[in-house]
């Protein structure tokens, strides 16, 4: 009777390592942490997802074309500043996917009222516009939205799964 030789320890380690490296960094079947809040730092163009006090994910983002200061009115191309809620997931967006932000809040409405202007609406965290997926690796280098917070589509898929409706979002200068 002829027996095949067992795999050598070096080959077994190599195969195990190769299998681990071939998995994407945030494997689709991995258990994702619970996100308790989202914080955006506009000056740094960074968005963080937090569970307790631990940052579980961090993303480079693009903001409104006029990023300095808080949004005051419709059409100013500024990203709001303040505390809001992710109030719903939106599939039917002209962007890849989006998470709607509860802008305007009471303070935003008061500011717009004193200016005699509408406050604006439809502020979201969204992926890239359809047809611009090739810009995924460098879209954040320039602020290009009309006031929203943009990530690439792979990041949007992750946000879609990790951030539940009702999650607070704090947007800081």
Give the residue with greater pLDDT, 64 vs 6.
64
Residue 2 has a pLDDT of 54
- Dihedral sign for Cα 51, 153, 78, 118, please: negative
Residue 16 has a pLDDT of 40
Domain ranges for the chain: 38-172
Residue 121 burial by Cβ neighbours in a 10 Å radius (0-12, 13-18, 19+): exposed
- Under CATH, what is the fold of the domain 38-172? L,D-transpeptidase catalytic domain-like (2.40.440)
Task: For 6-43, write each residue's pLDDT tens digit.
Answer: 555 554 444 443 444 444 445 555 678 889 999 999 99
Q: Which helix (H) or strand (E) holds 48?
A: strand 46-51
Please give the C-alpha separations between residue 162 and each of 37, 48, 110, 135, in angstroms, as whole numbers: 11, 12, 32, 23
Mean pLDDT of the chain: 86
Residue 10 has a pLDDT of 52
Closest CA to 97 of 72, 65, 73, 129: 129
């Amino acid at each position: 009777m002829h027996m095949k030789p067992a795999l050598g320890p070096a080959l077994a380690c190599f195969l195990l390592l190769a299998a681990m490296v071939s998995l994407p960094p945030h494997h689709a079947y991995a258990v994702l942490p619970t996100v308790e809040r989202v914080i955006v730092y506009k000056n740094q163009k960074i968005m963080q997802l937090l569970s307790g006090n631990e940052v579980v994910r961090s993303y480079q983002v693009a903001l409104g074309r006029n990023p300095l200061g808080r949004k005051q009115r419709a059409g100013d191309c500024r990203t709001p500043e303040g505390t809001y809620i992710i109030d719903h997931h939106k599939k039917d967006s002209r962007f890849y996917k989006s998470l709607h932000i509860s802008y305007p809040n009471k303070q935003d409405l008061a500011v717009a009222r004193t200016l005699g202007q509408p406050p604006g609406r439809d502020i979201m965290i969204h992926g890239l516009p359809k047809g611009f997926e090739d810009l995924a690796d460098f879209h954040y280098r320039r602020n290009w939205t009309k006031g929203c917070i943009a990530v690439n589509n792979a990041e949007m898929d992750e946000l879609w799964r990790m951030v539940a409706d009702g999650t607070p979002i704090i947007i800081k200068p």
